[in-house]
Amino acid sequence: MFADIPTADATVQLDTGFAALGLSEPVLKALVEKGYTTPTPIQEQAIPIVLMGRDVLGCAQTGTGKTAGFTLPMLDILSGSRARARMPRSLILEPTRELALQVAENFVQYGKHLKLTHALLIGGESMSEQKEVLTRGVDVLIATPGRLIDIFERGGLLLSDVRVLVIDEADRMLDMGFIPDVERIVAMLPPLRQTLFFSATMAPEIKRLADAFLSNPKEISVSKPASVATTITEGLALVATHDKREALRRLVRTEDVQNALIFCNRKRDVDILYKSLTRHKFSAGALHGDMPQSARFATLEKFKAGEIRLLVCSDVAARGIDIGGLSHVFNFDVPHHAEDYVHRIGRTGRAGLEGRALTLATPEDRLAVEAIQKLTGHAIPPLAVEGLDPVDWAEVDSRGRRRSRGGKGASPPRAEKASKSAAPRRVEAAVQPAVDEMQLKATRQDPRRSSERMRGDRRTDTAREPRRDREMRGLENRDSVIGFGADIPAFMQIRRRTAVVRMETPSRNEGGDHNDGTEIAA
DNA sequence: AAAAAAT
């Protein structure tokens, strides 16, 4: 322990890269004890600015060290004085309960040598307990929007003393329809305050919010440095609907799965698949938004600790939580929104190591797969499941009905039988989200709540392929797609040469091609 | 057609 180290050495010990950023001794001490000595680029840039009291507009995603980038300086800002009852001095808004909990854990860890208090205001847990903590006075309030507004309206909270506001993951807030809530909350805060605003992307709607909330902000933009760029190998297994669970089990057995998220589209299917996997003796857990909060946190902890190897989940885990270092992501269901595919598979790919993102698709999923491929700009390489016959998509129409065979436009004869060991194509860092989300947001700038959006025009712009039927028949250019013989579905061939995409960090200032992964635009 | 977040 640190306490055992002689004082002279302790001074040397504390003299890490963080000390140069102006953090106080108690915070540095906590960092050393956690074993952190070198700040990440965003920490290096953000910490001095936050300590200065300036507003920050941060373009950064999870995994960049963003959370410590604002918690560390906030601890120092707040450590000067004490909070009064029901009047928190800082507020951190998070889109999901899991992220809120993670931030709270950060505060506890880094603030262990300071006498600061925090409250975690999230749904699904007893409100009376949270109110009690508030009454005692808290320095840091970490909250999801719904519960915060609820408690505020019940009079359990005064926000007039909030000096520092953090809006984290603003783009996720937008996706989840929280922006009206966030605007309401910000309106309750004193106008004279420091605001830190973070988002993985800066879509126009996000930019509009930032302009409204921030005054003269310092813009900070970072992405993961190229050296830790991950490699994600994608694969698409075409299976019959009744074979899906069997196919998944076979893939899990044949792949070198360390730990994996398995995504389903529906919560009830999460439950069903979880039970099925457990029956088949797999180490599995389940996670979706209808589960009790305690179970959500407990399962997540077990999964992170390696006690559970497979986590069956809904899209709550696609964006709402931060789990690093996955060897695999499985899409048990093809996501209905192409953007969700990118978010899901972006969960795999460990720093410098290979991650595999494998999707099970049935004939009914064809349109959804086409939409994904249109969005990512490359075909997902086909993957054969050992011991299962691949489904021939050419014989099924988009709604999964069998086409009549032997007629005029019948499929060409098969040249070869499917190979059993098709290897998925390697995709270099196909999902560095900083870039992909930029593309995504371009298609999603509608400020309305997602439920409204759904009913509106969004559905009509899903990839529609008028030439589809023609292309399903006579196919050209059927080189090197393993596992399909001559019957390669047309959509698998679109722009295949773009399948290898080397991701570059987008530069804030157009034309600036100097980019080492860290960059400040003033 | 579904998921998240407030009850």
Identical fold at A2-223 and A227-449+480-499? Answer: yes
pLDDT score recorded for residue A235: 95
Q: Which residue has the higher pLDDT, A511 or A334?
A: A334
Does A373 score more than 90 pLDDT? yes
The nucleotide lying nearest A265 (C-alpha to C1') is B2
Confirm if A39 and A125 have CB atoms less than 8 A apart. Answer: no
> Does the CB of A314 fall within 7 Å of any strand B atom?
yes
Alpha carbon A87 to chain centroid, angstroms: 32
Distance of A150 CA from B6 C1′ (whole Å): 7
Confidence of residue A82 (pLDDT cuts 50, 70, 90): confident
Strands A231-238 and A354-361: parallel
Cβ-Cβ contacts under 8 Å for A198 (sequence gap 6 or more)? A56, A58, A59, A60, A66, A70, A166, A167, A168, A169, A170
CA/C1' separation A340–B3 (Å):
11
Domain boundaries, chain A: 2-223, 227-449+480-499
The confidence score (pLDDT) of residue A253 equals 95
Ramachandran angles phi, psi of A453, nearest 5°: -55, -40
Give yes or no for residue A346 having a pLDDT over 50: yes
Residue A458's nearest nucleotide, by CA–C1', is B1
A307 backbone φψ class: left, alpha, beta (φ>0; ψ -120 to 50): alpha
More confidently predicted of A208 and A431: A208
A380-408: pLDDT as tens digits: 999 999 888 777 766 555 554 555 443 33
Q: What is the pLDDT of residue A218?
A: 96
pLDDT band at residue A518 using 50, 70 and 90 as cut-offs: very low
pLDDT of residue A189: 95
pLDDT at A284 over 70: yes
Task: Return d(Cα A94, Cα A166) in angstroms, integer.
Answer: 9
State residue A411's pLDDT score. 34
Confidence class of residue A477 from pLDDT cuts 50, 70 and 90?
A: very low
Q: Which residues contact A79 (CB under 8 A, 6 or more apart)?
A: A24, A26, A114, A115, A116
Q: Give the confidence band of A225 by pLDDT, cuts at 50, 70, 90.
A: very low
Compute the average pLDDT of residues A432-447: 36
Higher pLDDT: A384 or A3? It is A384
How far in angstroms lies nucleotide B5's C1' from the CA of residue A289? Answer: 9
A337 CA to B1 C1' distance (Å): 10
Judged by C1' against the alpha carbon of A121, the nearest nucleotide is: B6
Q: What is the DSSP string of A67-80?
A: HHHHHHHHHHHHTT
For the cut 80, the answer to whether the pLDDT of residue A243 exceeds it is: yes
Of these ranges, A371-385, A408-422, A447-461, the one predicted with the greatest mean pLDDT is A371-385
**Least confident stretch, A1-15, A110-124, A435-449:** A435-449
Quote the percentage of chain A above a pLDDT of 90: 49
Residue of least CA–C1' distance to B6: A146
∠ at Cα A224 (A209, A257), nearest 5°? 115
Instruction: Give the tens place of pLDDT for each residue, A155-200.
Output: 989 999 999 999 999 988 988 889 999 999 999 999 999 999 999 8
A176 CB below 7 A from strand B atoms? yes
| DSSP 8-state code for residue A408 | T
pLDDT at A474: 32
Q: What is the pLDDT of residue A228?
A: 42
Strand B contact with A124 (CB < 7 A): yes
The reply to whether the CB atom of residue A156 sits less than 7 A from any atom in nucleic acid chain B is no
Nucleotide B4, nearest residue via CA and C1': A176
Whether pLDDT at A312 is above 90:
yes
Is the C-beta of residue A289 closer than 7 Å to nucleic acid chain B? yes
At A316 the pLDDT is 79
Query: How far: A253 CA to B1 C1' (Å)?
Result: 31
Is A2's pLDDT higher than 50? no
Q: Which residue has the higher pLDDT, A484 or A191?
A: A191
Which structure tokens are listed for A173? 């807030």
Element of type H or E holding A5: none
pLDDT score for A353: 72
Q: Is A96's CB less than 7 Å from nucleic acid strand B?
A: yes
pLDDT at A417: 35
Q: Which class is domain A2-223? A: alpha beta
Query: Which of A87-96, A211-220, A340-349, A427-436 has the least mean pLDDT?
Result: A427-436
Output the distance from A370 CA to B1 C1' rounded to whole Å.
18
Q: Please state, for a pLDDT cut of 70, what percent of chain A lies above it.
A: 69
- The reply to whether A316 has its C-beta less than 7 Å from any atom of strand B is yes
The distance (Å) linking the CA of A68 with the C1' of B5 is: 25
Q: How far is the CA of A385 from the C1' of B5 (A)?
A: 38
How confident is the model at residue A85, as a pLDDT?
Answer: 83
What pLDDT sits at residue A461? 33
CA of A265 to C1' of B2 (A): 7
Could you tell me the pLDDT band of residue A232, with boundaries at 50, 70 and 90? confident
> In whole angstroms, what is the distance from residue A438 CA to residue A144 CA?
25
Residue nearest to nucleotide B5 (CA to C1'): A146
pLDDT, tens digit, 9 for 90 and up, residues A18-44: 999 999 999 999 999 998 989 988 999
Positions of chain B reached by protein Cβ under 7 A: 1-7
Instruction: Please give the pLDDT value at position A395.
Output: 58
Higher pLDDT, A353 or A115: A115
Give the residue with greater pLDDT, A10 vs A56: A56
Q: Which nucleotide is nearest to A149 (CA to C1')?
A: B6
Q: Is the CB of A194 under 7 A from strand B?
A: no
How many angstroms separate the CA of A326 from the C1' of B2?
25
Average per-residue pLDDT in chain A? 76
> What is the mean pLDDT of the segment spanning A237-257?
94
Q: Is the CB of A89 under 7 A from strand B?
A: no
Mean pLDDT calculated for residue range A444-450:
35
**Range A227-449+480-499: architecture per CATH:** 3-Layer(aba) Sandwich (3.40)
pLDDT at residue A415 greater than cutoff 90: no
**Whole-angstrom Cα distance, residue A363 to residue A254?**
24
pLDDT of residue A455: 35
Distance between the alpha carbon (CA) of A314 and the C1' atom of B5, Å? 15
Distance A283 CA to B1 C1' (A): 30
Model confidence at A464: pLDDT above 70: no
Q: Provide the pLDDT for residue A450.
A: 35
In this complex, the answer to whether residue A178 has its CB under 7 A from any atom of chain B, a nucleic strand, is yes
Nucleotide nearest to A143 (CA to C1'): B5
At A179 the pLDDT is 92
